[in-house]
Amino acid sequence: MSTTHEPLKQWVEEMTQLCQPDNVVWSDGSQNEWDTLTQLLCDKGVFTRLNEEKRPNSFLARSAPSDVARVEDRTYICSEDEADCGPTNNWYDPAAMKELLKPKFKGSMKGRTMYVIPFCMGPLDSPLAKIGVEVTDSAYVVVNMRIMAKIGAPVLSRLEDEAAGKVDFGRDGHGTFVPCLHTVGAPLEPGQEDVSWPCNEDKYISHFPETQEIWSYGSGYGGNALLGKKCLALRIASTIAKKNGWMAEHMLILGIENPEGEKRYISAAFPSACGKTNLAMLVPPKELTDKGWKVTTIGDDIAWLWPHADGTLHAINPECGWFGVAPGTSYETNPNAMDSMLENAIFTNVGLTDDGDVWWEGMTDEAPAHLIDWKGNDWTPESEGPSSHPNARFTAPASQCPCIDPEWTNPDGVSIDAFLFGGRRESTMPLVFQSKSWEHGAFIGSVMGSEVTAAAIGLKPGVRRDPMAMLPFIGYHVGDYLQNWIDIGNKVEKLPAIFNTNWFRKDADGKWLWPGFGDNTRVLEWVLRRATGEVGGKETFIGTVPNWEDFNAEGLDFSEEDFNKVMDLDKEEWAEEIATQQEFLDKIGDKLPAEIAQERAALIERVKG
Ligand code: OXD
Ligand code: MN
């Protein structure tokens, strides 16, 4: 297979010459290809086929213990001008980065196959869709990409047709693709035996925003290797979005239908490991389901949003699958995610049960008596350390999610009524409050933070400020990114209302003050009723909070006193919060939008008042 798309053909030839694979295979995305590659991975010992009866067509992989997460300290934004990269990214000169990487890529695929994967982020017919082509020497990447994105023949022919002028979906980037180069960086000498998870200790996840290219070296794991996700759909897309007046955000998208049958959509930004996938697929508690409340899912990680001709912000999910954190996921916490991975799924770094199924911490109350752990060793409940890596993942098709929204592949997206921000905060932050305006909401998002957990390595514990949960994913200067938020506010007639939430507040004894999970629907109910102007609220120095009378606690063991605790505003805590927010805002420097600085000054005045 090859292509009539000349620039693509030429690029693949160049990459072949550079990386010197033994052979080149164009991915067609077919079932046959999946069957062949998953079998190949089984034969090579990379995959273990799970019990066909319990988990049909599903596989377990174990990565190298040194290759288990995104590597933020090895992630680079290579903009021409260092000033465009900003203080929150690692910068490298683009020409110098290519000079540095070329010798590493040279011959990096020797002894391996180079797969060429045309992929499309977003529905193929969406004007916002982005086509990328990943070349990779990892068959694991190909099969994961097949779940996470539309790949192969239909994408290639769309690209060819666009370039030949046969079709035009008004796609920005019409006829072009984002080249994504990936190698695990482990060439094989003739006769050299392969390891089950080849990778390199040296890792570079490099982005070239001006030329819209991605070069990833040395890792085979997750966002480092499945380049459509964080690299393209967030870092590169955010730079395209900024230029063209739209937004690429680290947000889930969910649908919520009230008892009157009115359907609305909410998009929510939470840092990694704050239960975003759980919220995206939440099951309302019985009292609310009985009344007719329903929640559906469009996406669990990324939203692309644009000012639509109808005067609202529309959103699509550019992905086709879930790449979720396994530990903690269970039929209690997220039955829809559990059902999404019943078949045709890939598991990475979880435990293997004696009957050929998977298990991880939190899946059931009681651990199986014996497992093979994520490092391939025997494991019993008495063993030291968990059976699964804390950042172990499941890759599952979104189409298998029981609560998938009927509009999830609508190329025109869905209209968003509310944005939620939130993080994992044990104190200070109440369960929910609404911003006073779009600009105030942008300020709240700019200083949101979360207590650090396992999805990113090499971080100090404490509250990490994470603007709009985009800190590791903004492909350019954070100040310019915040300006894009302000600018969008001036372009959209009917803007989403903005809220901040915190499901994780604790009392002095370390007990959770809010049950979370399905009961978060109660918060969403208030959010929607506020967004549509159905209920009032109480003005406070941080924003508008619910009145107890408007908060639906029906059927929940949750008193007005409990409500007051989880909603408590402590001015001393807030004085401390504001001081630490400032440390982060100071880093942004001159590019901090004036509107954000003004909102901050106004908050300080209100806290004093
Ligand atoms: C993710 C992340 O994997 O945010 O989605 O780290
Ligand atoms: Mn994420």
Ligand 1 atom at shortest distance from the alpha carbon of 301: 5
What pLDDT does residue 460 have?
63
Q: Residue 77 phi/psi, 5° resolution?
A: -110, 115
- Tell me, in angstroms, the distance from the centre of ligand 2 to residue 472's CA: 10
Could you tell me the CA-to-CA distances from 52 to 55, 57, 326, 344, 514 in Å, in that order?
Answer: 5, 7, 20, 10, 40
Give the helix/strand (H/E) hosting 43: helix 31-43
Query: Within a domain: residue 418?
Result: yes
Alpha helix segments (H runs only) across 375-504:
438-446, 478-489
Q: Quick one: 102 and 210 in the same domain?
A: yes
Task: Evaluate if residue 508 carries a pLDDT over 60.
Answer: yes
What pLDDT does residue 85 have?
97
Ligand 1 atom at shortest distance from the alpha carbon of 473: 4
Among the listed residues 85, 180, 199, 274, the single catalytic one is: 274
pLDDT per residue over 398-456, tens digit each? 999 999 999 999 999 999 999 999 999 999 999 999 999 999 999 999 999 988 765 45
pLDDT per residue over 136-180, tens digit each? 999 999 999 999 999 999 999 999 999 999 999 989 899 999 999
pLDDT per residue over 300-331, tens digit each? 999 999 999 999 999 999 999 999 999 999 99
Q: Quick one: 263 and 340 in the same domain?
A: no
Q: Do residues 396 and 56 make contact, with C-beta atoms less than 8 angstroms apart?
A: no
Instruction: Give the number of C-alpha atoms closer than 13 A to the C-alpha of residue 559, restricted to the C-beta side.
Output: 1
Q: Quick one: 342 and 365 in the same domain?
A: yes
Split at pLDDT 50, 70, 90, the class of 462 is confident
Handedness of CA 260, 261, 264, 265 (dihedral sign): positive
Question: What residues contact 195, with CB distance under 8 A and at least 6 apart?
Answer: 64, 186
Q: Quick one: 223 and 126 in the same domain?
A: yes
Alpha helix segments (H runs only) across 282-432:
286-291, 335-340
Among 251, 272, 473, which is best to mutate for testing ligand 1, by the most ligand atoms less than 8 A from CB? 272
pLDDT per residue over 257-275, tens digit each? 999 999 999 999 998 878 8
- Tell me, in angstroms, the distance from the centre of ligand 1 to residue 126's CA: 24
Q: Kindly report the pTM of this predicted structure.
A: 0.97
Percent over 90 (pLDDT), the chain: 95
Inter-axis angle of helices 139-148 and 31-43, nearest 10: 140
pLDDT per residue over 523-574, tens digit each? 999 999 999 999 999 999 999 999 999 999 999 999 999 999 999 999 999 9
Q: Quick one: 488 and 427 in the same domain?
A: yes
For residue 426, the one-letter residue type is E
SS3 278: helix
Which of the ligands is closest to the CA of residue 322?
1
Q: Quick one: 257 and 117 in the same domain?
A: no
pLDDT per residue over 361-393, tens digit each? 999 999 999 999 999 999 999 999 999 999 999
- Tell me, in angstroms, the distance from the centre of ligand 1 to residue 489's CA: 27
Query: Within a domain: residue 501?
Result: yes
The string of DSSP letters for 544-600 reads: EE--GGGS--TTSS--HHHHHHHT---HHHHHHHHHHHHHHHHHHGGGS-HHHHHHH
CATH number of the domain at 604, please: 3.90.228.20
- Residues in contact with ligand 1 by the CB-under-6-Å rule are 70, 222-223, 272, 301, 323, 455
Among 352, 384, 400, residue at a domain's last position? 400
What pLDDT does residue 1 have?
65
Q: Quick one: 446 and 575 in the same domain?
A: yes
Cα angle: 284, vertex 287, 288; to 5 degrees: 45
Ligand 1 atom at shortest distance from the alpha carbon of 455: 6
- Averaged pLDDT for residues 277-304: 96
What pLDDT does residue 452 have?
77
What pLDDT does residue 457 have?
53
Q: Quick one: 372 and 438 in the same domain?
A: no
Q: Quick one: 239 and 264 in the same domain?
A: no
Percent over 70 (pLDDT), the chain: 98
- Rounded to an integer, what distance in angstroms lies between the CA atom of residue 364 and that of residue 369? 12
**Mean pLDDT of all residues in the chain?**
96
What pLDDT does residue 523 have?
98
- Tell me, in angstroms, the distance from the centre of ligand 1 to residue 272's CA: 5
Query: Within a domain: residue 52?
Result: no
What pLDDT does residue 458 have?
58
- Rounded to an integer, what distance in angstroms lies between the CA atom of residue 340 and that of residue 326? 12
Q: Quick one: 469 and 378 in the same domain?
A: no
Among 188, 212, 244, residue at a domain's last position? 244
Query: Within a domain: residue 229?
Result: yes
pLDDT per residue over 168-178, tens digit each? 998 989 999 99
- Rounded to an integer, what distance in angstroms lies between the CA atom of residue 309 and that of residue 338? 38
Q: Quick one: 469 and 412 in the same domain?
A: yes
Q: Quick one: 454 and 361 in the same domain?
A: no
End-to-end CA distance of the chain: 70
CATH number of the domain at 342, please: 2.170.8.10
Among 226, 270, 301, 457, which is best to mutate for testing ligand 1, by the most ligand atoms less than 8 A from CB? 301
Query: Within a domain: residue 442?
Result: yes
Q: Do residues 351 and 388 make contact, with C-beta atoms less than 8 angstroms apart?
A: yes
Task: Evaluate if residue 246 carries a pLDDT over 90.
Answer: yes
- Averaged pLDDT for residues 323-342: 97
Query: Within a domain: residue 534?
Result: yes
Split at pLDDT 50, 70, 90, the class of 459 is low
For the purposes of burial, counting CB atoms within 10 Å of the CB of 410, is it exposed (0-12), middle (13-18) or buried (19 or more)? middle
Output the six-digit token pair for 58.
Answer: 């599903």
- Rounded to an integer, what distance in angstroms lies between the CA atom of residue 47 and that of residue 144? 12
For residue 451, the one-letter residue type is E
For the purposes of burial, counting CB atoms within 10 Å of the CB of 391, is it exposed (0-12), middle (13-18) or buried (19 or more)? buried
pLDDT per residue over 57-104, tens digit each? 999 999 999 999 999 999 999 999 999 999 999 999 999 999 999 999
Among 362, 380, 400, residue at a domain's last position? 400
What pLDDT does residue 69 have?
93
- Tell me, in angstroms, the distance from the centre of ligand 1 to residue 71's CA: 11
Which range of residues forms the domain containing residue 513? 249-317+408-608
Residue 274 known to be catalytic: yes
For the chain, how many structural domains are there in total?
A: 3
Query: Within a domain: residue 226?
Result: yes
Query: Within a domain: residue 65?
Result: no
pLDDT per residue over 14-54, tens digit each? 999 999 999 999 999 999 999 999 999 999 999 999 999 99
What pLDDT does residue 124 have?
95
CATH number of the domain at 22, please: 3.40.449.10
